[in-house]
């Protein structure tokens, strides 16, 4: 759904704004997941909050790519694409391996619920720290595009992206 969502983001604020706000939303949502785990109906709350995290993550991905494309020259983009891929893969290993391993180690002393609360709070803390870091360190450029000011403009932009993609030579 990201291609449908991204033209609407072009109407508001800067890409830096969306990067930072989604990191904060994700951090808060992870903290709320942690706090929901001891509750009787934790699964309903945790799933709903994970949905918020997923939407926030997709929005962050769009905005992060926007910052990358608008703020870096082609040479800089080529220079940092390897780092981007390396950190993406490192994050997968950390979350799918490292944090799950730590949860397994903690379950013996804290129990499963509190072990996963710790892991969710670590994720929350990481996202909040990154958000505060990016408030200070990300460039402020990547403003909302003035050509997209309404839902109609966003839909026209989306159609143009789809049309131009399928009109490429050798697309079939």
Summarised one tens digit per residue, pLDDT across range 61-105 is: 888 887 887 788 888 888 888 888 888 889 888 888 889 999 999
**In whole numbers, what is the pLDDT of the chain averaged over residues?**
86
Q: Could you report the per-residue pLDDT of 114-133, keeping only the tens digit for each?
A: 999 999 999 999 999 999 99
Residue-level pLDDT at 84: 81
The phi and psi torsions of 14 (rounded to 5 degrees) equal -105, 165
DSSP 138: S
Higher pLDDT, 101 or 154: 101
CA distances to 92, 99, 160 from 131, rounded to whole Å, are 19, 20, 33
pLDDT-based confidence at 163, cuts 50/70/90? confident
pLDDT-based confidence at 39, cuts 50/70/90? very high
pTM of the model: 0.79
pLDDT-based confidence at 153, cuts 50/70/90? confident
Higher pLDDT, 154 or 138: 138
The C-alpha torsion from 39 through 40 and 41 to 47, rounded to 10°, is 40
Judge contact between 31 and 121, C-beta under 8 A: yes
Of the chain, the percentage scoring pLDDT greater than 70 comes to 91
Provide the token pair at 81.
Answer: 């694409």
């Amino acid at each position: 759904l990201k291609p449908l969502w991204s033209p609407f983001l072009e109407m508001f604020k800067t890409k830096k704004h969306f990067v930072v706000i989604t990191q904060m939303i994700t951090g808060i949502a992870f903290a709320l997941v942690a706090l929901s785990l001891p509750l009787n109906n934790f699964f309903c709350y945790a799933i709903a909050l994970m949905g918020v995290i997923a939407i926030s993550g997709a929005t962050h991905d769009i905005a992060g790519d926007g910052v990358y494309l608008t703020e870096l020259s082609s040479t800089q983009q080529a220079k940092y694409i390897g780092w981007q891929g390396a950190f993406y893969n490192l994050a997968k290993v950390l979350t799918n391996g490292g944090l799950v391993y730590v949860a397994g180690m903690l379950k013996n002393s804290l129990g499963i619920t509190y072990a996963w609360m710790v892991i969710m709070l670590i994720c929350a803390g990481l996202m909040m720290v990154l958000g505060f870091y990016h408030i200070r360190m990300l460039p402020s450029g990547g403003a909302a595009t003035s050509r997209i000011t309404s839902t109609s403009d966003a839909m026209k932009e989306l159609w143009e992206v789809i049309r131009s993609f399928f009109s490429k030579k050798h697309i079939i």
